[in-house]
Structure 1
Amino acid sequence: MLNRVILVGRLTKDPALKYTPNGVAVANFTLAVNRPFTNQQGERDADFINCVVWRKPAENVSSFLQKGSLAGVDGRVQTRSYENEGKRVFVTEVVAESVQFLEPRGSRDGQSSNAAGNGNSSGYSNDPFSDGAINISDDDLPF
């Protein structure tokens, strides 16, 4: 049996973080995932997929993702049901085993992720290869 889902999309609103009575973190969020084809008007429709993530990844999602953030979800489809005012309600959602943050934090707000914008006051970029020049002698190569 195989139940595997991989999604890439943008959050439709900020994640909702809650804790179970036993103190286990759980975050719910919805991903808007574009369909790979256009409709009759030439526009791309999107599917809005409910996702849930547990424990430390839930806390990370809540801390680092917000409405509009681009995220990748790897998980499985789960269905469940519950009673609400005498009616049976069915829910289908993706239980995320991992959530990847696919863009730098704040990039949707027009903030820069370079050395000047991330609080690094040393004057050096965090990327040692950012200037494009790498000086390596033949003696440094392992082959």
Structure 2
Amino acid sequence: MLNRVILIGRLTKDPELRYTPNGTAVAQFTLAVDRPFANQGGEREADFIPIVTWRQLAESCANYLRKGRLTAIEGRVQVRNYENNEGKRVYVTEIVADNVRFLESSKREGRNETTSINSNSQAGRNHDPFYDDGKPIDISDDDLPF
């Protein structure tokens, strides 16, 4: 069985960071993802998908993501339910993200780079080994696997 989702879209508002009673960080935000087609009027429509992140990833998202920023997320679909104040069962479908990639730099940074954070990264940032792509690499033939 497989439950894996990859989405690219823009945040509709800044992430909302909260903490559970036992101190676990959780951030929630909504990602607007364009549909691959236009409606009858020729206008593009979007789906607004709720995203949830936990722990260090949640804190990193709250610190670095902002409304309107182009972002890629990877995670799984989760459907949960609860009983509201009127006693009705409410179902919620959301994406629990375990990898978030910032596809645009913030306006004030002035650089165009991507940053990836995931639930396994210690500091919340992965360093891309191919960041200086195009520059010569000092490697001997003995180091190549072929």
TMscore range, shorter length:
0.7 to 0.9
Q: How does 1:30-109 map to 2 (within 5 A)?
A: 30-85=30-85, 86-104=87-105, 106-107=106-107
TM norm structure 2: 0.75
Partners of 2:53 and 2:23 in 1: CA distance? 14
Secondary structure of residue in 1 paired with 2:81? strand
**Deviation digits for residues 58-108 of structure 1, max 9, x if unmatched?**
00000000110111010000000111121111100000011111111x22x
How many residues of Structure 1 are paired with residues of Structure 2 in the alignment?
A: 121
TM norm structure 1: 0.76
Q: Which residue of 2 aligns with 1:2?
A: 2
CA offset at residue 42 of structure 1?
A: 1.3
RMSD: 2.3
- Structure 2 gaps, min length 5: 113-130, 142-146
Partners of 1:141 and 1:73 in 2: CA distance? 34
Partners of 1:24 and 1:141 in 2: CA distance? 44
Q: Please list every run of at least 4 consecutive aligned residues from structure 1 whose deviation after the TM superposition is greater than 2 angstroms.
A: 111-114, 140-143
Task: Give the percent of matched residue pairs that are identical in Structure 1 and Structure 2.
Answer: 61
